[in-house]
Chain A
């Protein structure tokens, strides 16, 4: 009984060590990526099988686009804050609120167009099949965001 108990303890310890070792090794690469700076670009490289040359060009596109992206983000936040401010003052759809909502929708539409233009430029630098998959992913994200936006801000008359 004692010997059997020792055998049980040893085997369970070995099984636990095996679990830890396998789990650690299998997730090490992903965890390392998560802690790197610019890890989203490394994700892009691995997910869409970019060569070194393709990756460098896409990094350049991303660097050029990033300031415009931040600027557009700021415009969306301004328009959003304006809508929230008007709604906080008067919980009714006034002409001012309607105009603010239209402006927010227009800003979001312009930003989405710019983002898709960037996505198309990036897709052209990728291997063909991966480029199609990348564009479908970005379109899916845009569509999901658009649906959320329509749910929150139904289209108003111009």
Chain B
């Protein structure tokens, strides 16, 4: 059996005895255009497969992901607004409670200053 040597070139031609096939292959030109979203889609698919291969996300890993996202303005700005809103809301609630307690203390002081019975109980 005669050996046939096959070479691959740009047009993917097989240089062998079948000249019709060779001619047809030479005329075959592939004009492939890569869509602009192709690289991103590939990386996304890789990420999905990698995530699917992982077990449940640990808290440390979750924090790492979240903190990593904070480097981007589109995550950092909402986070900053949320943090400030929560802190101011908490301050408002606690300030209201503190003021109410102070007011009750002042009310008791007034009543004690005019009620001898309350004054006597305070001095007991």
- A7 and B76 contacting across the interface, CB-CB below 8 Å: yes
Q: Does B48 contact A (CB under 8 A)?
A: no
B110 and A76 form a contact (CB under 8 A): no
For A, the interface residue count at a CB cutoff of 8 angstroms equals: 53
CB pair A119–B84 under 8 Å, yes or no, is no
Label chain A's interface by main secondary structure: helix
Q: Are A12 and B83 in contact (CB under 8 A)?
A: yes
Which among B69, B70, B120 has the greatest number of chain A C-beta atoms within 10 A? B120
- Interface SS of chain B: helix, strand, loop or mixed? helix
A66 to B115, CA, bound (A): 10
For residue B28, CB closer than 8 A to chain A, the reply is no
Contacts of B115 in A (CB 8 A): 69, 111-112, 115, 138, 141-142, 145
| Contact string against B for A residues 32-73, beta-carbon threshold 8 Å, 1 for contact and 0 otherwise | 011000011111100100000000000000100110011011
Other A-B pairs beyond A12-B83, A69-B119, 20, CB < 8 Å? A4-B70, A4-B76, A7-B80, A11-B80, A11-B83, A14-B83, A18-B84, A19-B88, A23-B91, A26-B92, A27-B95, A40-B109, A43-B103, A43-B107, A43-B109, A62-B113, A62-B114, A70-B119, A114-B116, A138-B115
The 9 lowest CB-CB distance pairs between A and B, nearest first, are A26-B95, A4-B70, A43-B106, A72-B116, A40-B110, A15-B87, A3-B71, A22-B91, A76-B120
18 A-B pairs, CB-CB below 8 angstroms? A4-B76, A18-B91, A22-B91, A22-B95, A26-B95, A26-B99, A27-B98, A40-B110, A44-B110, A75-B116, A76-B116, A76-B120, A115-B117, A138-B115, A141-B111, A141-B118, A145-B115, A145-B121
